[in-house]
Structures are given as structure tokens and as C-alpha cells.
Amino acid sequence: MINNLFIFFISLFMVIKGATMATKHAALLAESYRLSKYVVGFIIVATISILPETLISLNAALESNPSFGLGTLFGSNVADLTLIFAILVFVAKRGLKVESKILKKNYIYPFLLFFPLILGLDGYYSRFEGAALILIGIIFYFMSLKDSIDDSLPFHNGIGRWQHFLKLLLSMAILLIGAHFTVTSSISIANYLAISPILIGMLVVGLGTTMPELFFSIKCVRRKDDSLAVGDLLGTVLADATIVVGILALVSPFEFPLKIIYITGLFMVTASFLLFFFMKSGRNISRKEALLLFIFWLSFVVVELLVSR
């Protein structure tokens, strides 16, 4: 127990340190390419942030328990779209600013999250459906990258660009290693305390995999890089729901309980519509709206617990 607590605090420190470094170098990298900070967050940082849940889900699939991985992915997405955004607003002690171009480029975003639900209505993901989900995710990423040059940013000739890129990868690696050991140590602590496996899967594994984007985004909003934080969270959710689920199906087509689609999946899609509705109202997420997002997440937890009893 004491060893697990020690590992937990050390790994948590790694997460915080990695997030601090990643925020700095992602912003500098964005400027060197004259890319908007939102795009760097949505594509570069989010791609690295999804590794914890990807590895956990793949491991679950290889151990013949892919539904655990799917539930973790959808559950962490609900947390990212509600709880994490709420925490960011409360930590920043101000409304979270949302650029108008983010809303303009992502008007179809909530509808994309319907695709894994529609393809999974039969309780089964085939390799063909997995490939389709991966293709959907890649196409939307390409659309987000297209016309993303920010002419208002100063031009850099690339000096130091590779240094920032390598330091970004290093910082995200530190963050991911810290997140991994934070999750594993938390599970060990939960088992020692005889906590329900349902709570372990939902609150420890699901929430644990959101830590990279949580700590990264907290550092962003404290530096008033709101677009970088928003991009990371939205990019992570989209990648989880399309590309990561698609990879699981390609590795091993699998069946799963339909309640993951009808409950967890519907909560995920509803959360995205609710979030974008708040984003469009005043081009920011207020503290009142953050509270509503938090209540929505609590409702999700209560429903999942009642259904799993």
C-alpha cells in the first residue's frame, strides 16, 4: 500500500511536469509553423494524449475483453467533454474563451461522434467498420489542418523548430509514463481498499486516462492559451471515438454489450452537443455553464452505477 502511494505521487508529479513542458513547446511550435494554437492542440498534442487509453484498450482487446476498452474510451470522452472543461473554467476563475473560427470549422463535430454509435447498433464492430471509423477521423483531421495558417503570427525560418518538436515529444512521453503509473497504482490502491470494480473502471481507469489532457489544458488556461486547451480536448475525444475504436476493430473484431452504445455512447454524443451549445453562446464557456457540465457528468456516473448494479 505504501509503495503504491509513493508511485502514485511520483507519477502524478511526472504528469504535472510533462504538462508544463508540453504547453510551452507546443505553443512555440505553433508559432514557428504559423499554425493556430488550436490546430497544434487538436492534432499534435491530442494525438499523443490518446496513447494511455489506446494502450489500455488494446491490452483489453488482446486479453479478450474489448468491451472494457470500448467502455473506457466512451467513458473518458464523456469526462473530457464535461468534467474536464468544467475543471478548466473553475481553475481559470474565468470564462473559457472559444475562437469563432473553432466553431466555424467544427460545426459537424458532434455529428461525427454518431458514427461509432450507428456502426455499433448491432453490438459488433467488424474490420470494415473499424477501417471506416479510422478514415472518418483522418479526413476530419485533414479538414482541420487545411487552411489553418494564422497570418497574424510572425514567420520563423525554422531555427529551433526541431528542438521544440523533440522537447514536445519528450515532455509528452514523461506525461504519458506518469499517467500510466498513476492509473496502475490507483487501481492497486482501489483493489487494496476493496472498491467495486465498476468504480475502478469508470472513475480510476476512465478518469485516469484523461489526466494528460487535464493537466496539459490546466497549464494552457493558466497561460491564457485557451485555444490550445480546447483543441487538445476536442481532438482527443474525436480520435478516441473514431481512430482508436477503429484500431481496436482492425486488431480484433469484437462484440460488446449494447448498453455501451445506448447509455455511454448517447451520453458522449449528448455531451458534445451540450458543450458546443455553450461554446456558441457568447463565444465562451461561463462558470454557470461549467457547473451544468459538471452536473451532467455526475448524472452520467449515477446512471452508469444504477445500470451496472
Q: What is the pLDDT, as a whole number, of residue 270?
A: 96
pLDDT digits (tens, 9 = 90+) for 232-248: 888 889 999 999 999 98
Position 150 pLDDT exceeds 60: no
For the ranges 55-69, 117-131, 143-157, the one whose mean pLDDT is highest:
117-131
Mean pLDDT of 150-169: 67
Q: Domain 2-308 is of which CATH architecture?
A: Up-down Bundle (1.20)
For the ranges 15-19, 121-125, 221-225, 258-262, the one whose mean pLDDT is highest:
121-125
pLDDT, averaged across the chain: 81
Position 105 pLDDT exceeds 80: no
Position 134 pLDDT exceeds 90: yes
Q: What is the pLDDT, as a whole number, of residue 199?
A: 61
51 vs 216: which has the higher pLDDT: 216
Q: What is the pLDDT, as a whole number, of residue 175?
A: 78
252 vs 81: which has the higher pLDDT: 81
pLDDT digits (tens, 9 = 90+) for 88-101: 999 988 888 887 66
186 vs 172: which has the higher pLDDT: 172
114 vs 148: which has the higher pLDDT: 114
Q: What is the pLDDT, as a whole number, of residue 104?
A: 64
Q: What is the pLDDT, as a whole number, of residue 126?
A: 94
Position 156 pLDDT exceeds 70: no
Domain boundaries, the chain: 2-308
pLDDT digits (tens, 9 = 90+) for 25-42: 777 777 677 677 777 777
Residue 2's Cβ-count burial label (10 Å; 0-12, 13-18, 19+) is: exposed
- pTM for this one? 0.81
